[in-house]
A and B are shown apart, each in its own frame.
Chain A
């Protein structure tokens, strides 16, 4: 797994471990000093991202987060995309 560290401007620090093949996320662990409510939703988010393309997951993940009523503080879905693009 590749490690990506990404400081969100005005937000928190993302420390991601990710396996990306041909722009598709095969495995991902999103760690860092952010907040997610409820906390266990991080595992749902990581599962949801598997097999998603890093170029077009943003609207899909945004919809999932909304549907599941997950609150993220310290980074946005778009910040996550920017971080993952560093790993390609």
Chain B
């Protein structure tokens, strides 16, 4: 059975979590670490936007400030996500271990979440392009970037969702439709606490369940580990110079020295 690394679950700010994800990606590219899975949570709550989104067009930045919600641009594409009561996973894996195109690899890698939900007694299905649904309602969104032969995929596993708070932070293109949109999202989104009879959920238990889910779907064993010294150093630099910078968060600009010339 192939061995992957699993990192300890940490609670951190959005900028730090995104910096750690990218540090894992860089270390995997440089073959300093094996394929890796980790889970994490967000403190404070945060909104992440996709690589291709316009920050000011998508997010009410004053509201985010008022509510103490961090705002950070991801390296991956996809949409804006409000991260509060959720367990998030991220993984880095060499493309040669997942020889699939992007669409198929989403399905393959999301299967860990589907299996984890199944372990909890929740029947879920992958829905292309990048969602996981329970009875037609979204419970998980996922996003992937690929650099120099390595895939970084991260995704949400919703524990509960505060749709009103989420929409107070997101700008919608037509304010008149906001009420309808909120109603639509309430209808179209679910969460683990919503699906389970008991809402008393222990995070450690969830980690275990989803770790098993990924082990089953990827057919791998996990070795417990912590971030390497290099990863910590890279993450520290990326957090400060990239994920906390206006240049990156507003303009998608960061001159990354870690990937060589292209």
Query: Interface of A with B (CB < 8 Å)?
Result: 5, 11-13, 15, 17, 29-39, 42, 71, 73-74
Contact = CB atoms under 8 A, between A and B. Distances in A.
Contacts of A32: 52-53
A74 B75 contact: no
A56 B57 CA distance: 29
B129 A39 contact: no
Nearest to B81: A33
A34 B182 CA distance: 22
Contacts of A36: 52, 77
Interface stretch (B116-124, B140-148, B203-211): B140-148
Interface residues of B, number: 23
Q: Main SS of the interface on chain B?
A: loop
A11 B131 CA distance: 12
* Most B CB within 10 A of own CB, among A11, A33, A34, A36: A33
Contact of A73 (B57, B80, B129): B129
Contacts of B101: 71
Nearest to B77: A35
A17 B173 CA distance: 13
Contacts of A30: 52
Contact of B57 (A31, A35, A38, A71): A31
Contacts of B243: none
A71 B144 CA distance: 13
15 contacts: A15-B54, A15-B173, A31-B57, A33-B50, A33-B52, A33-B53, A33-B80, A34-B77, A35-B130, A35-B143, A37-B145, A38-B146, A39-B77, A71-B101, A73-B77
